[in-house]
Structure 1
Amino acid sequence: MTFDTGRTVLALDGGNSKTDAAVVTSAGEVLARGRGRGFRPHLGKDEALAGLGELARSVLVEAGLQRATLLSACLANSDLPREDEEFATWFTGQQLAERVEVTNDVFALLRSGTRARAAVTVVCGAGMNCVGVAPDGSVVRFLALGTFTGDWGGGGTLGTQAMFFAMRDEDGRGARTELSTALPAHFGYPSTAAVAEALHLGEIDGHRLHELVPVLFAVASAGDEVALSVVRRQADEVIAFVMAALTRLGLLDTETEVVLGGGVLAAQEPVLLDPILAALGRSAPHTRVTIPRITPIVGSVLLGLEHLADGAPVDEETEQRIRVAFGEARKPADVLQSDGDSHHFAGRQ
């Protein structure tokens, strides 16, 4: 097969923990791929941008290019239009591509999960965010800047909450929970207090609190009421995002894809997904919930190709070629259906 290599997309999907990069031709041939550190400009903007630039140049070199036709960057922590513009200006100055498009990484998850014109996506990884789009092109975004913008949840919050309740059990301030045994066991310490001291002194990196999410789910799945209360609140936050987006876009009575992603949701823990599916089955029965089984860099690539084509959708053959190249089977997502209080996997779609 002969590919058109005349126009290329340099795609970046920058999450909190890692950044994926790829160079793809307009015909769907993957010329190069790479992975770098996460994009966390709040910890040092210059260093974070430099890391993206280094990764971008490395995949361009691998692809045998000096620059691409278009750079499509979907970045965590680019939460405001003015930040999109700031980062786009920086990329333009690096001369990595003739054109630059920057948006939040939640759009990459959305596009990697569906071609639908009516869709809502919630990403729950280190933090949380949501976006919704309507058939007329209307978009709903949330600030998602932290607790002061109404946010709760994600791996960082869940790990911290697990420690909070384990500590309060151990010192007598709170209810009994198996978290006070499971958490120190995970880190190899004799008590929750010892873990807390190690975190305070830097003996345990604070980012390792994310490791407690699977521990929390395991304890909750065993029936621990304290752990269950934390997981239920996380489910409520996902539901609140979806319902707010559907309501604001007027999509409650429209067939709408709901794409769930990020490490916390992609783990597909029934203790978290069950209440989400049950609630949406009751309150938003026209939704279809999917969990992509493909890296969101595919969404960044597809968005880039659509920018190249002035907004025209990527044809299905080219999209399938790209998905397969990035390791996705013919059927791209886990589809979950809900009917009132009962729900099930509808199978691979």
Structure 2
Amino acid sequence: MYILGIDGGGTKTKGVIATVAGTIIAEATVGASNPNNVKKEDLKKELSKLIDILKTESKDAFKEVKRAYAGMSGVDHPSARKEMKQLMESLLPWSIPVTVNNDAITALYSGTLGKPGVVQIAGTGSITFGLNGEGVLDRVGGWGYLLGEGGSGFAVGSEGLQEAFRAHDGLGSRTELTSLICGHFQVKTLPEIIHSIYNAVNPKELIASLSRHVFTAADHGDKVAQAIIQKNANHIGEAVSCLINKQFNENERAHEIPVVLAGGLFNRLDLFKGAMEEIFEKHSINAKLIRPGIEPVGGAVIAGFLEENIEVDEGFIEQFSRHKL
């Protein structure tokens, strides 16, 4: 028995066919699949490519797929989720049932194996998502970059850009971000990047990619960059604390609440952890921070098995993680 798990985001989309033991039979990675940022024809093209690769890698396993579970960004609205489900169904054999859900739940399961907890996604975008002991789902944030996505790669990169331009105009403090961003775009002066920013195919992804320069400047002691990281770390701490206090009952909060940390920003957890923990202490939050041993696509496989009333054990993570995606 096999599950086809998909993790779709604003940068790339991963898919695997795997067993309940965590053995990966086939894998594929294609482009972005967030319907808010990708045109319908491009979305269909990428997902079709993903499925074709998986089918080619293992025709026998593909024929025995019991369910497809897709954790996708940008499908919060019921109509968007329905459209994504219909698209997936059109690309797969009719015999394979399809479940489409927010990518946050698959990221959560990658750290809790389907058990209750909170997941903080801090990648290109951000969302705080939780599942309590009664099976109730809730969230804080994740409303898109136009409405503010604190604690995301976009937020860090965008604030880095803003502070660089403030320094350029004489409105803010001098910062190493100016030279780092100019170097990124291979220009001599900051205004030369305007065309590249406003004419980018995916400006959100481009701006989020600049977050690494904020980290570099912070490592070098740049006060402006350090303040940006502090601000976003505080935001994450407040969002997680808010969700735990409103979603988990007093008895649940008396025990450690697993908080799964997913997304590229947490590759530099060393820059965020201290400020986050200070916020947790302020709100008396008993959080157990978890860096999952597998990627969110593994959480999609776990979710698929749970849909079939099959639980996975710790051995799943060990086996799944042996395969480098």
- Which TM-score tier does this pair reach, normalised by the shorter chain? 0.7 to 0.9
Which residue is 1:255 aligned to? 256
Q: For residues 130-149 of structure 1, give each alpha carbon's deviation from its aligned partner in whole angstroms, at most 9, with x where no partner exists.
A: 21111121211246222565
Which residue is 1:39 aligned to? 33
Instruction: Check whether the contact 1:258–1:287 (CA below 8 A) recurs between aligned residues.
Output: yes
Which residue is 2:89 aligned to? 92
Q: Percent same amino acid at aligned positions? A: 23
Instruction: Check whether the contact 1:116–1:257 (CA below 8 A) recurs between aligned residues.
Output: no
**CA, structure 1 residues 306+322, in 2 after alignment: closer, same or farther (shift >3 Å)?**
farther
Aligned-residue RMSD, C-alpha: 2.6
Q: For residues 92-148 of structure 1, give each alpha carbon's deviation from its aligned partner in whole angstroms, at most 9, with x where no partner exists.
A: 233345211111111111111123733101101111012111112121124622256
Q: Distance in 2 between matches of 1:76 and 1:287?
A: 25
Amino acid at match of 1:265: F
- Spell out the pairing of 1:1-12 with structure 2 (5 A cutoff): 7-12=1-6
What TM-score, normalized by structure 2, do the two folds share? 0.87
Instruction: Check whether the contact 1:198–1:204 (CA below 8 A) recurs between aligned residues.
Output: no
SS in 1 for 2:178: helix
Which residue is 1:226 aligned to? 224
**CA, structure 1 residues 58+147, in 2 after alignment: closer, same or farther (shift >3 Å)?**
closer
Aligned residues: 318
- Spell out the pairing of 1:1-349 with structure 2 (5 A cutoff): 7-42=1-36, 43-64=38-59, 65-66=62-63, 68-96=65-93, 97-115=95-113, 117-142=115-140, 144-146=142-144, 151-200=149-198, 207-250=205-248, 251-268=252-269, 270-309=270-309, 312-317=310-315, 319-320=316-317, 322-327=319-324
Alpha-carbon shift at residue 28 of structure 1 (Å): 3.9
More off after superposition, 21-30 vs 98-107 = 21-30
**CA, structure 1 residues 114+226, in 2 after alignment: closer, same or farther (shift >3 Å)?**
same
Instruction: Check whether the contact 2:8–2:32 (CA below 8 A) recurs between aligned residues.
Output: yes
Q: Distance in 2 between matches of 1:117 and 1:204?
A: 35
Alpha-carbon shift at residue 27 of structure 1 (Å): 4.8
Instruction: Check whether the contact 1:60–1:68 (CA below 8 A) recurs between aligned residues.
Output: no
Alpha-carbon shift at residue 282 of structure 1 (Å): 4.1
SS in 1 for 2:16: strand
Alpha-carbon shift at residue 152 of structure 1 (Å): 2.8
Instruction: Check whether the contact 1:109–1:121 (CA below 8 A) recurs between aligned residues.
Output: yes
Q: Distance in 2 between matches of 1:205 and 1:224?
A: 25
**CA, structure 1 residues 157+11, in 2 after alignment: closer, same or farther (shift >3 Å)?**
same
Instruction: Check whether the contact 1:41–1:49 (CA below 8 A) recurs between aligned residues.
Output: no
Higher relative contact order (CA 8 A, sep 6+): 2
Q: Distance in 1 between matches of 2:202 and 2:322?
A: 38
Instruction: Check whether the contact 1:74–1:300 (CA below 8 A) recurs between aligned residues.
Output: yes
**CA, structure 1 residues 321+211, in 2 after alignment: closer, same or farther (shift >3 Å)?**
closer
Instruction: Check whether the contact 2:113–2:312 (CA below 8 A) recurs between aligned residues.
Output: no
Instruction: Check whether the contact 2:110–2:293 (CA below 8 A) recurs between aligned residues.
Output: no
Alpha-carbon shift at residue 202 of structure 1 (Å): 5.5
Instruction: Check whether the contact 2:106–2:298 (CA below 8 A) recurs between aligned residues.
Output: yes
- Structure 2: gaps of 5 or more residues: none
Amino acid at match of 2:75: S
Instruction: Check whether the contact 2:293–2:317 (CA below 8 A) recurs between aligned residues.
Output: no
Q: Distance in 2 between matches of 1:121 and 1:297?
A: 14
More off after superposition, 273-282 vs 294-303 = 273-282
**CA, structure 1 residues 149+183, in 2 after alignment: closer, same or farther (shift >3 Å)?**
closer
Which one has the bigger helix percentage?
Answer: 2
Q: Distance in 1 between matches of 2:283 and 2:320?
A: 33
**CA, structure 1 residues 72+200, in 2 after alignment: closer, same or farther (shift >3 Å)?**
closer
Which one has the bigger strand percentage?
Answer: 1
**CA, structure 1 residues 201+10, in 2 after alignment: closer, same or farther (shift >3 Å)?**
closer
Alpha-carbon shift at residue 194 of structure 1 (Å): 2.1
Q: Distance in 1 between matches of 2:267 and 2:19?
A: 29
Instruction: Check whether the contact 2:113–2:302 (CA below 8 A) recurs between aligned residues.
Output: no
- Structure 1: gaps of 5 or more residues: 1-6, 329-349
SS in 2 for 1:41: coil
Alpha-carbon shift at residue 248 of structure 1 (Å): 1.4
